Amino acid sequence: MNAGAITERIPNRKAKEIYELICRHATISKTELLEQSGMTVSTLTRLLEELTGQGFILESGFGASTGGRRPILYEKNSAYAYIFGLEISRTLSKLVLVDLGMNKLDARSWTMTAEMTPEVLIRFIVDEARSMMERHGITKSMLLGIGVGAVGPVDRLSGTILEPAYFQAKGWRNVEICRELSEELGIPSMLDNGANTAILAESWHQRTQSFKHLLYIHVGVGLRSSMVSEGKLIYGAVDMEGSVGQMIIQTDGVAHRNAAGNYGALESYASLYAIEKAARSALKQGRSTVLSHLVEDPEQLTYTQVLEALKKNDPLVVEIITEAATYFGIGLANLLNILHPEKVILGGPLIAGGELFFQTATQVAIRKTYYYPAYQVVFSKGQLGEEALAMGAAVMVMDQLVRL
């Protein structure tokens, strides 16, 4: 069941334009809609009546008078429908239930262990989705669909997760996730890579601001990136989600953990894997560190212990994080010099782990940006944190209402 069923809910192109204008604002007056749409009064009035009658929008009072009658205000009807947003990542998967205002009604997460095969996870998702519907009194007819933001590469058109690397469980290749979810839940489903859904969420959250060119980078097990320009996602000939991690920053550098990867690739220096590898090596060398009291076997060390030591301001861990952030800042500067985004949103475990990585990386990036200070870029951790991928998957579904 594809997104066409969603797109057809508002069949009129001009009605889609008006609905999209209303969605960009908390409330907007009829006068403002006339100015921004360029439509005649009679056409706009008819479209507003249609959208109101169908339940897409609501009249929400009157605006301030400018000398004549007070203008009617309109807003999106958040209760028109509900959407599931699903994140599938290497360490965690998450399901959220939202209304059309992107207000979160419910959420559930699962740790991606070695037992979390596609079959197991899909069963959990379907059971939890049905439980959420029951808890909130939502019927299938009230659901717009389910969006999925997954580790790439993915085939968006067929709704298939292709060959993602580094899952602990087996079976994550050529998973027809959209087909399986649609068959189980009986609702439309859509798929994109998680970096794209994350930037969709952040872009929607900042829709009233003036940023036109946004870059998003997720720093975790690997590096994942996406970009929005003029409100539209930028796509390449193939799924580009993990390509930023293969950026070469040292031609004679360390070998990539994957035989197909580049020597000296950015994610070999700035990722959870790189930090864990550096910390394990230091423990084996007998370096003085809090980590030696947190884990007996260096090979069992995880990023969780690294974070614990960082909170205690352990000098060795501060050194490791600073070095990783410096390398990441160099890679980020390369992207700034090529793409020139107005705003860069950074997310993922390394960004959420504390200020040291974020501050070091952004300072290094700024110092190596060619047109600085004439070119000013805003760095942000984003507004939605670790829920951005799942929320953005829901935004992806909602956006189909205004697609032609």
The pLDDT assigned to 149 comes to: 96
Q: What CATH number is given to the structural domain containing 144?
A: 3.30.420.40
Sheet holding 28-29, edge to edge: 28-29, 72-76, 57-62
H/E element, 213: strand 213-219
Q: Are residues 185 and 253 in the same domain?
A: no
Tokens 């870059």 label which residue? 215
Buried residues in 134-143 as b, exposed as e (16+ CB within 10 A): eeeebeeeeb
Q: Are residues 184 and 328 in the same domain?
A: no
* Statement to judge: residues 132 and 176 lie in one domain: yes
Predicted structure pTM score: 0.82
Full DSSP string of 35-88 = HHH---HHHHHHHHHHHHHTTSEEEEEE---SSSSPPEEEEE-GGG-EEEEEEE
What is the pLDDT at residue 80? Answer: 93
Which CATH number goes with the domain that contains 65? 1.10.10.10
Residue for token digits 């334009």? 17
Question: Cα(321)–Cα(123) distance, rounded to whole angstroms?
Answer: 38
Element (H, E) at 365: helix 355-367
Residue pair 102/166 in contact by the 8 Å Cβ criterion: no
How far, in Å, CA of 204 to CA of 239, rounded?
22
Last residue of a domain, one of 60, 79, 98: 79
- Please tell me whether residues 172 and 237 are part of one structural domain: no
Residue holding tokens 């003085």? Answer: 288
**Number of domains the chain contains:** 3
Query: What does the pLDDT read at residue 247?
Result: 92
8-state DSSP, 386: G
- Residue 15 sits in which domain range? 4-79
The DSSP string of 132-179 is HHHHHT--GGGEEEEEEEESSPEETTTTEE---S--SSS--SSB-HHH
Local confidence pLDDT in tens for the 404 residues of the chain: 566 688 889 988 999 999 988 988 888 988 889 888 889 989 999 999 999 999 999 988 776 666 667 778 999 999 999 999 999 998 899 999 999 999 999 999 999 999 999 999 999 999 999 999 999 999 999 999 999 999 888 999 999 999 888 899 999 999 999 999 999 999 999 999 998 998 888 888 776 666 778 899 989 888 988 988 877 888 877 777 778 889 999 888 888 888 888 899 999 999 999 999 999 999 999 998 989 888 889 999 999 999 999 999 999 999 999 999 999 999 999 999 999 999 999 988 899 888 999 999 999 999 999 887 888 899 988 777 778 899 999 999 999 998 87
The reply to whether 42 and 181 lie within a common domain is no
Name the residue among 226, 262, 227 with its Cα closest to residue 247.
Answer: 262
One domain for residues 19 and 102? no
